[in-house]
Structure 1
Amino acid sequence: MPRTFGQREPTLRASTRRFAVMLASALALAALPAIATADTPPSPGSVVATELLPESQRLPGSAASTKVTYWTADSRDRPRLSSGAVFVPEGSPPPGGWPTISWGHGSNGLGDQCAPTVLGRPAPESAYLAGLLADGFAVVASDYIGLGTEGLPNYLDSGGEANAVIDIVRAARELYPAIGPVWLAQGHSQGAHAALNTAPRAKSYAPELDYRGTVATSAPPQIDAVVGLIGPQMPPIPAPTSLFVMAIAGFRDLRPDLDVDGYLTELGRRTVALAETLCSPELDERTEHLSISELVSQPLGELTAPFQDYLRLPVAGYHGPLFLGHGTHDETLPYPLVFTLLTGLLINGVEVDFHSYDAGHDSIIPIAAPDVRAFLAAAVD
């Protein structure tokens, strides 16, 4: 059973502390730094705005449940805004402050209404995050760049996702001094892609933080490796077409210097435009009977290398321990696909704590929780 950091105080004192933290959150907005101008580029992780999360999104055991908007950067190093949630445990922090889990959520869609801090979280995910609070972790959860903030989300932008996952830790520490420098990245599905991209850059991007490792469940395969196969003759692949549609929409937005539309059919352009406004369930339904080959008019040619870089899933350069879990009944990313990633990691000498579970794509979260929570506790011990 993972150990608990710090001791819980009597109910009256915990309630007093919760009120004080909530009051501090409400007052934080008045002391926020001015939004940077072109002459003063914003500091990654600097806070732009805060507000209390609605009651329905607060987690049991949290002394503070705050929505934060903060500065980060996309993979082209351009300043971008992201929003996200910060949850602080009740009780007294351990020496050095609460350790933190930076959580990456699965695919929600590209419309602003799809952001977790707007839409809310699935009950199993909320229950899992509440368990982390009970174990003595602060929890931060980025919405990702552009999802609920200015601009289009760049879905599967490897660098942008990683930056957002790291910079929300900085933002949380700016808001709550009781949060310490020790942290880990964890993600599920799209969030696994974000967490795995975080692992090689965490120490160099934020050297003031004490990064301890990464957890990834229901991770995508090395999709960057098959970009060269995309074209009108491409055979069907065992993954939803909606994932490609969202990725090409984000790539088109990130790289306006490239003629992405010139590689799409008329149906492809309409579908990509539609994806920019929808949440995942509706987009999945709209694209259920479409194949990637129907959406592209020619092989990607000169788009191949930049699209590969955009989608990159690293298999080398990792720092800290890595936990990788996948369900044998994953209906979205079938189980055999994880072995392309696992093989790449092992060939490059990455030490992986790999677990298979009798689980589906999302049901793996509660099923893997005991192993994951033990891994996290050991990483900060």
Structure 2
Amino acid sequence: MRTSAVVKPIVKWIAAALAAAVLAAAPVTPAAQAGGGHHHRPGRPVFAEPLPASLWLPGTAAAHRIRYTSTGFAGRPVVVAGAVFVPEGTAPKRGWPVISWAHGTVGVADPCAQSVGGRSARDVTYLSAWLAAGYAVVATEYEGLGTPGPHPYLHGRSEAYGVVDMVRAARTVERSLSRTWLAVGQSQGGQAVLFTGAMAHRYAPELDYRGAIATAPPSQWRTLIEVARPFEPAAPAIPNVLLALEMLGATHPRTFDPASHLTPAGAEVFARARTEICFTALSQLLAGRTAAEVYAVDAAERERLTRLMEREADIPIVRHREPVFIAQGTADTVVYPPASKTTADKLAAAGSHVTFRFYPGADHSGAMSAALPELLTWAAARVGK
């Protein structure tokens, strides 16, 4: 190996360390950790350090691991974690346009935070393409992943706050980033960016938001639950349901008890999912188990669960001020493909400018790679590349 090939990433890492030194050296007060005390300012970094080189995306020139203030599901200040990736090369005059990345399902336990544990090969390949196209990538962990408090999985408003405030915080830590940004997400993150697009201008008017890209976003929860039949006794136990129960327990602590919807075996798995295991391990743990072995949900409880998911997780059907691109694989067995089309049609009827594409034969993950060339072209037009 050439010496320069070894020295280059080390030099970049040192440069990133120097860039973060001022923020990292400043003590973080308990009030800051709690979200800013009496003067909540969303998007304020409270901690920054260089991201270890082993967690960098290919094509990264500098990277930071940060914590920042945001707004939680209850409307109160929280601290959220995330990572910032700066592309190689010289920044444009007005700075690197920003992709605020909203990741798919990883779990609800703190060890699932990707700024600590790393990302899947699928996501690394996808995000590296955005870096290579000349975008900075800023990646929220959402509320409660790697930070105090529960992660309210699929709670749309909480996710959207984290996506927006990640841009604010990243621009403070890394001065080469532009005000211009797009929200881009997959699966859970696809749902998150469609919530983001509905409130980005109102929540962060100082930023220059240009649109949302959602691949395989879960939506139309009543239809999805009817099709997936997650509580049919003989059906396979769906791990995502456990994660949704965590969200509903956190957001409705006085009226919703996850334990009352679980068998003893399900409660044991649920406890581990909350504290120690991530989605892949959870899926393996439930493999071969039926819904009856894990969930204790009758018809009345199913209806209540459906209504709660519609309230907290269904994508708002409103007019987006900026365009939306929704990409959906036809072979997706996680998200019901016709539901994505229904959501796109309803957003368009509400006055949003929506581009919708089916990608024949693409499964839940495959929609990302299948759509990528078209997404890059669409994004370039949105930011004026």
Tell me, yes or no, whether TM beats 0.5: yes
Provide closer, same or farther for how the CA distance between residues 89 and 378 of structure 1 changes in structure 2, counting only shifts above 3 A.
Answer: same
Cα drift, residue 235 of structure 1: 5.0
Matched residue of 1:159: which SS?
helix
1:179 maps to 177
1:116 maps to 114
Matched residue of 2:86: which SS?
strand
1:299 maps to 300
Whole-Å separation in 1 of the counterparts to 2:347 and 2:114:
31
2:102 maps to 104
Pairs aligned (count): 368
Whole-Å separation in 2 of the counterparts to 1:95 and 1:242:
46
**8 A contact 1:195–1:214 mirrored in 2:** yes
AA partner of residue 46 (structure 2): V
Provide closer, same or farther for how the CA distance between residues 376 and 324 of structure 1 changes in structure 2, counting only shifts above 3 A.
Answer: same
Provide closer, same or farther for how the CA distance between residues 17 and 284 of structure 1 changes in structure 2, counting only shifts above 3 A.
Answer: closer
In the TM superposition, 1:1-381 aligns within 5 A as 19-31=14-26, 34-36=29-31, 39-223=37-221, 235=232, 241-261=238-258, 263-267=260-264, 269-277=267-275, 278-288=277-287, 289-291=289-291, 294-297=295-298, 299-300=300-301, 306-357=308-359, 358-381=361-384
Provide closer, same or farther for how the CA distance between residues 34 and 42 of structure 1 changes in structure 2, counting only shifts above 3 A.
Answer: farther
**Percent of paired sites with the same residue:** 35
Matched residue of 2:142: which SS?
strand
Provide closer, same or farther for how the CA distance between residues 139 and 272 of structure 1 changes in structure 2, counting only shifts above 3 A.
Answer: same
Deviations 1:291-333 (A, max 9, x none): 3894325624777655432212122231211111011222322
AA partner of residue 29 (structure 1): A
Deviations 1:150-185 (A, max 9, x none): 112110011100000000101001111221111110
**8 A contact 1:249–1:273 mirrored in 2:** no
Cα drift, residue 85 of structure 1: 0.8
**8 A contact 1:70–1:168 mirrored in 2:** yes
Whole-Å separation in 1 of the counterparts to 2:355 and 2:48:
37
Provide closer, same or farther for how the CA distance between residues 28 and 261 of structure 1 changes in structure 2, counting only shifts above 3 A.
Answer: closer
TM-score (norm 2): 0.85
Matched residue of 1:220: which SS?
coil
Matched residue of 1:144: which SS?
coil
AA partner of residue 157 (structure 1): H
Whole-Å separation in 2 of the counterparts to 1:89 and 1:239:
43
Provide closer, same or farther for how the CA distance between residues 14 and 95 of structure 1 changes in structure 2, counting only shifts above 3 A.
Answer: farther
RMSD (CA atoms): 3.1
Deviations 1:228-268 (A, max 9, x none): x79x9965899972222201112202221223347524445
Whole-Å separation in 1 of the counterparts to 2:339 and 2:236:
10
AA partner of residue 128 (structure 1): Y
Matched residue of 2:311: which SS?
helix
Whole-Å separation in 2 of the counterparts to 1:238 and 1:100:
42
**8 A contact 1:224–1:312 mirrored in 2:** no
Matched residue of 1:296: which SS?
coil
2:4 maps to none
Matched residue of 1:374: which SS?
helix
Cα drift, residue 41 of structure 1: 3.9
AA partner of residue 52 (structure 2): P
AA partner of residue 290 (structure 2): L
**8 A contact 2:222–2:306 mirrored in 1:** no
Matched residue of 2:197: which SS?
helix
AA partner of residue 186 (structure 1): V
Provide closer, same or farther for how the CA distance between residues 319 and 237 of structure 1 changes in structure 2, counting only shifts above 3 A.
Answer: farther
User: Relative to structure 2, which stretch is displaced further, 239-248 or 39-48?
Assistant: 239-248
Whole-Å separation in 1 of the counterparts to 2:297 and 2:37:
41
AA partner of residue 297 (structure 2): V
Matched residue of 1:295: which SS?
coil
Matched residue of 1:332: which SS?
coil
**8 A contact 1:105–1:187 mirrored in 2:** yes
Deviations 1:58-102 (A, max 9, x none): 122222111111111122211122111101123332222211000
1:6 maps to none
**8 A contact 1:225–1:308 mirrored in 2:** no
**8 A contact 2:101–2:184 mirrored in 1:** yes
Whole-Å separation in 2 of the counterparts to 1:96 and 1:236:
57
Provide closer, same or farther for how the CA distance between residues 259 and 362 of structure 1 changes in structure 2, counting only shifts above 3 A.
Answer: closer
User: Relative to structure 2, which stretch is displaced further, 257-266 or 361-370?
Assistant: 257-266
User: Relative to structure 2, which stretch is displaced further, 109-118 or 336-345?
Assistant: 336-345
Whole-Å separation in 2 of the counterparts to 1:192 and 1:64:
26
